[in-house]
Amino acid sequence: MIELFACLGSGNSFKPWLALQQLGKPFKLCLVDVLNGQQKSPDFLAINPLGVVPFLVTSTGASIGESNAMLWYLAEDSPLMPTRAEERAQALQWMFFEQTKLEPFISPARFFTTLKPEERDLRASDIEIWQALAEPNLFRLDAHLESREFMLDSGYSLADIAIFGYVHVIAEAGLSLLDYPAISRWITAVEATKGFRPLAELSPAKIKAA
Ligand SMILES: N[C@@H](CCC(=O)N[C@@H](CS)C(=O)NCC(=O)O)C(=O)O
**Mutate-to-test residue for ligand 1 from 15, 36, 52, 68, highest number of ligand atoms within 8 A of CB:** 52
The whole-number pLDDT of residue 206 equals 54
- For residues 135 and 100, membership in a common domain is answered with yes
Say if CB 16 and CB 34 are below 8 A apart: no
- For residues 133 and 70, membership in a common domain is answered with no
Residue 68 CA: nearest ligand 1 atom is 19
- For residues 18 and 115, membership in a common domain is answered with no
- Structural domain count of the chain: 2
Q: Which domain holds residue 174?
A: 85-191
Q: How far apart are CA 10 and CA 4, in angstroms?
A: 13
- For residues 97 and 47, membership in a common domain is answered with no
- For residues 187 and 203, membership in a common domain is answered with no
Residue 37 CA: nearest ligand 1 atom is 17
Residue 7 CA: nearest ligand 1 atom is 9
- For residues 99 and 144, membership in a common domain is answered with yes
Residue 208, pLDDT above cutoff 50 = no
Closest by CA position to 72, among listed 60, 56, 49: 56
Residue 204, pLDDT above cutoff 60 = no
CATH number of 46's domain: 3.40.30.10
- For residues 204 and 183, membership in a common domain is answered with no
Q: How far apart are CA 164 and CA 168, in angstroms?
A: 5
- For residues 70 and 149, membership in a common domain is answered with no
Strand 2-6 to 27-31 pairing: parallel
Helix (H), strand (E) at residue 134: helix 124-146
- For residues 91 and 171, membership in a common domain is answered with yes
- For residues 160 and 182, membership in a common domain is answered with yes
pLDDT tens-digit profile of 78-135?
Answer: 999 999 999 999 999 999 999 999 999 999 999 999 988 999 999 999 999 999 999 9
Say if CB 94 and CB 151 are below 8 A apart: yes
- For residues 149 and 171, membership in a common domain is answered with yes
pLDDT tens-digit profile of 138-190?
Answer: 999 999 999 999 999 999 999 999 999 999 999 999 999 999 999 999 999 99
Rounded distance from Cα 59 to ligand 1 centre (Å): 23
